[in-house]
């Protein structure tokens, strides 16, 4: 028997041929593909019959929409325009590729996640895609934690990529790495990653707008920020999420101390809150510069309370004072990018990218900052580094030095 999912009728274009068959939940054909949705009354009629489509058609339609959204985003279209994009009336054959896989690296994951967050409760067949995003993120993290941190810390200052998705992924990484330090059960780590991906679904577009906005939030935006956790839970329920633990974490990720339920859920809530707050401090806005990771991590530890001390210390140990992807000045005067965490939080592995005389180097040089003449002298703000670091060259450097 075919598996059906609801058609988001409000996003179907009037006067255009439908690219899928429309069914009732019981399997009665309501409209054949290539027939046209004639009017609002026609739309209401289909709504009254609970119009559905096959899951295969839903997946293909979603892929077609995401391709159009990606093209508009790359062209610099306004975020609100992208989010309100109607479903396309043509589905390409390539959109019917099997499965829900999300392939590629972190920036590919970021691209797909951004589209899902922008669509919100209007996303077509979102839960399998969300599962695929979670699986891919956890796989990439397991394969190479330092490379994962490097890519996302390098992406965080680039607001053109979409801050909401970069922030969500980096929060997920920090939370899961901290859970590893605390030896939390595997399922709790997966819950943390999924919660990080969707915690701000109630304000995804607003989050990107605020990152680019040159003024502080206005009263309406401030109210939307205050309401986003509750709105996010409502949206997730509309999308079909039934995991009560996940919904509780999203609801309380800004106010974990007010949670009255299960202790383990509150611990995850606190962990996500700390990772969210720490990452936000290290991210730039048009209205303020990013806080250096060293300063943000020290503040994280200094603000400890009896309920959060162990979590904060584990997070600082998991990330280090100089996380991969951030910049430092060495005792020899060189500017370097951190490429991997070291044996101690103050001694990362680094690559020299600017000489002591201030000139970009032609060949990256590996630097072990645990050596006295190569110790980290100070952290360097990303916005002051005027060269683009090659992730591929960093990867080769790490491999050649076994880092």
What are the residue boundaries of the structural domains of the chain, listed by start?
4-57, 102-319, 327-401
Distance (Å, whole) CA 90 – CA 103: 24
Q: In the predicted model, is pLDDT for residue 276 greater than 80?
A: yes
pLDDT at 17: 92
Q: Which long-range contacts (CB under 8 A, 24 or more apart) does 329-333 make?
A: 329/376, 329/377, 329/378, 329/379, 329/380, 330/367, 330/369, 330/374, 330/375, 330/376, 330/377, 331/372, 331/373, 331/374, 331/375, 331/376, 331/377, 332/356, 332/373, 332/374, 333/357
- Which listed CATH number (3.40.50.300, 3.40.30.10, 1.10.600.10, 1.10.3210.10) goes with 102-319? 1.10.3210.10
Two tokens, residue 1: 């028997």
Q: Is the pLDDT score of 334 beyond 90?
A: yes
On the question of pLDDT at 357 being above 60, the answer is yes
pLDDT of 98 > 60? The answer is: no
Per-residue pLDDT at 99: 54
**Interatomic CA distance for residues 57 and 38, integer angstroms:** 21
Residue 205 or residue 195, greater confidence: 195
Decide: 159 and 194 in contact? Cβ < 8 Å. Answer: no
CA-to-CA dists, residue 163 to 135, 192, 207, 323, 333, angstroms: 21, 19, 7, 19, 32
Q: What is the pLDDT of residues 358-392, one digit of tens each?
A: 999 999 999 999 999 999 999 999 999 989 999 99
User: Is 90 exceeded by the pLDDT of residue 119?
Assistant: no
> Which helix or strand (DSSP H or E) is residue 337 part of?
strand 335-340
pLDDT at 30: 93
Instruction: Tell which residue, 271, 399, 389, has the closest CA to residue 326.
Output: 389
Cα separation of 327 and 381, whole Å? Answer: 7
Distance (Å, whole) CA 31 – CA 159: 43
User: C-alpha 211: how far from its chain's center?
Assistant: 15
Which residues on adjacent β-strands are paired with residue 160? none
pLDDT score of 93 more than 60: yes
Which residues fall within 8 angstroms of residue 168, CB to CB, at 6 or more apart? 113, 117, 196, 197, 198, 199, 200
Average pLDDT over residues 338-351: 95
pTM score, whole prediction? 0.80
Closest Cα to residue 72, out of 115, 102, 126? 115
pLDDT score, position 161: 82
* Residue owning tokens 């009017």: 39
Residue 38 has a CB neighbour count (10 Å cut-off) of 11
Could you tell me which residues come within 8 angstroms of residue 77 by beta carbon, excluding any fewer than 6 positions away? none
The mean pLDDT of the chain is 92
How high is the pLDDT of residue 72?
82
The pLDDT-based confidence of 354 (bands split at 50, 70, 90) is very high
% of the chain surpassing 90 pLDDT: 73
- For residues 331 and 338, give the distance between their C-alpha atoms in angstroms, rounded to a whole number: 14
pLDDT bin (cut points 50, 70, 90) of residue 83 is confident
Token representation of residue 68: 């159009």
């Amino acid at each position: 028997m075919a598996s059906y999912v609801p058609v988001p009728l409000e996003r179907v274009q009037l006067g255009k041929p439908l690219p899928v068959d429309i069914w009732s939940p019981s399997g009665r054909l309501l409209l054949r593909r290539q027939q046209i949705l004639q009017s609002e009354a026609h739309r209401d009629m289909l709504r009254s019959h609970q119009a559905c489509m096959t899951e295969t058609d839903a997946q293909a339609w979603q892929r077609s929409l995401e391709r159009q959204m990606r093209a508009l985003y790359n062209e610099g279209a306004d975020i609100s325009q992208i989010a309100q994009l109607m479903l396309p009336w043509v589905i390409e054959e390539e959109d019917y590729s099997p499965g829900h896989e999300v392939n590629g690296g972190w920036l590919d994951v970021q691209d797909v996640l951004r589209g899902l967050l922008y669509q919100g409760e209007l996303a077509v067949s979102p839960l399998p895609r969300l599962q695929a995003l979670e699986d891919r993120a956890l796989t990439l993290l397991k394969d190479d934690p330092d490379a994962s941190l490097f890519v996302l810390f390098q992406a965080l200052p680039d607001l053109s990529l979409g801050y909401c998705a970069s922030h969500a992924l980096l929060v997920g990484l920090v939370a899961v790495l901290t859970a590893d330090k605390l030896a939390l059960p595997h399922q709790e780590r997966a819950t943390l990653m999924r919660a990080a991906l969707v915690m701000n679904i109630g304000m995804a577009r607003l989050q990107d707008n605020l990152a680019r906005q040159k003024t502080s939030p206005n009263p309406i935006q401030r109210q939307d920020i205050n309401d986003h956790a509750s709105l996010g839970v409502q949206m997730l329920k509309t999308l079909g999420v039934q995991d009560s633990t996940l919904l509780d974490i999203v609801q309380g990720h800004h106010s974990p101390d007010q949670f009255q339920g299960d202790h383990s859920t509150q611990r995850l809530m606190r962990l996500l809150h700390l990772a969210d707050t720490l990452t936000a401090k290290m991210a730039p806005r048009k209205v303020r510069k990013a806080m250096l990771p060293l300063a943000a991590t020290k503040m994280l530890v200094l603000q400890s309370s009896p309920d959060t001390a162990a979590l904060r210390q584990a997070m600082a140990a998991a990330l280090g004072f100089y996380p991969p992807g951030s910049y430092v000045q060495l005792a020899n005067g060189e500017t370097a990018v951190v490429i991997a965490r070291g044996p101690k939080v103050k001694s990362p592995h680094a690559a020299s990218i600017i000489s002591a005389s201030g000139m970009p180097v032609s060949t990256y040089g590996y630097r072990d900052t645990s050596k006295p003449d190569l110790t980290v002298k100070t952290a360097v703000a990303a916005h002051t580094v005027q060269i683009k670091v090659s992730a591929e060259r960093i990867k080769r450097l790490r491999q050649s030095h076994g880092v």
